Amino acid sequence: MAGAGGDKPSADAGPSPLSRVLRISQLDAFELDGALEQLVWSQFTQCFQHFKPGLLTPVEPELKALLQLLLWRFTVYSNSATVGQSLLNIRYKDARVPGHKYRPMSRQKKLWFALLTVGEKWLKERSHSLFLNHPAESSIHKARKLLSVVMGLTKAASLVNFLLFLQTGTFPTLTERLLRVQPVFIRPQGPRDVNFQFLNRELLWHGFAEFLIFLLPLINVWKLKVYVSTMFSPLNELRRRSEVTYCTECAICREWPTMPHSIGCNHVFCYYCLKSHAIADISFTCPKCGADAATMEPVRLQIEMTELHQS
């Protein structure tokens, strides 16, 4: 019986603590968890989009905490792993267990995990309006000051803990360090072979991308577009002669010109469109005919004459 029991796999068998999780994988898991919380909250608020505006605002921190507790129930409480960790094949283990044995989080630690994560987020959101409805008494003032001091110390401790995480690669959050829980891989990770061709291709593409980022801002795309359009438009001169000054469309935004101005050609611009483009580009030219913006002249009289002529 003893031999049979020894050959039978243990129910607590799990990932090996030797499978160390990279720093980037732990941070990616947090990003995935945050994206999931935002997605769940957006889907929840869409259910009330046809109700009275501001209906959920008074109880928004409580509703968010309730949804986070619901996620915690079916993730950390059930599998000792968040959704982001499950996607990356990561699971929490009790870091106090010595040796190569794997032991999942105890029930007590899971409850403390919910209190320190969900409770902390709820307190941060609710603390802004926690003392607003109370008179300015001395006890309320002391409680508010004490809460601010505690939050400041917590932020400072979280910063120090993150710096330690960057150095050691363990316990990225203060909650994990206090509870002594550590993420490990569920399955052993195979070796990652990166050959010379892959590295050479990556270096080449990164260098080419940096060259384009440096080069593209130096190219005047607007002027190049005007030059190409004038070169390949044989009817451009005919269009210039046919167009008149009292055009009722801005050559930049293509809307009715506000405070219409001209730069000497047969096109009208909004004052703000023309001024902003002239300040951004010293060599600004008309996007339709390519005329240089030498002077800015108002054309209000021509617009008024056009309206009188049409009436």
> 41 — phi, psi (to 5°)?
-65, -40
Beta-carbon neighbour count of residue 256 at 10 Å? 12
Q: Which CATH entry fits the domain spanning 221-310: 3.40.50.150, 3.40.50.300, 3.40.50.1000, 3.30.40.10?
A: 3.30.40.10
Closest alpha carbon to 303 in 279, 269, 253: 269
Residues in the chain: 311
Contact indicator for 121, 65 with CB cutoff of 8 Å: yes
Closest alpha carbon to 109 in 121, 96, 99: 96
CATH 3.30.40.10 in the chain is located at 221-310
Q: What is the pLDDT of residue 127?
A: 77
3-state secondary structure of 25: helix
User: For each of the chain's 311 residues, which pLDDT tens digit applies?
Assistant: 444 444 444 444 444 444 678 888 899 999 999 999 999 999 999 998 888 888 888 889 999 999 999 999 999 999 889 999 988 888 898 887 665 677 888 899 999 999 999 988 888 888 777 666 555 566 777 777 888 888 889 999 999 999 999 998 889 999 999 999 988 887 766 666 656 777 788 888 888 888 888 887 777 676 677 667 666 655 454 444 444 445 678 888 888 888 888 887 878 888 888 888 888 777 777 877 777 777 788 875 544 444 444 55
Closest alpha carbon to 22 in 84, 88, 100: 88
Largest CA distance in the chain: 109
Cα 295 from chain centre? 43
| Whole-prediction pTM | 0.55
Beta-carbon neighbour count of residue 28 at 10 Å? 16
Structure tokens at 262: 């001209």
Contact indicator for 92, 175 with CB cutoff of 8 Å: no
Q: What is the pLDDT of residue 231?
A: 67
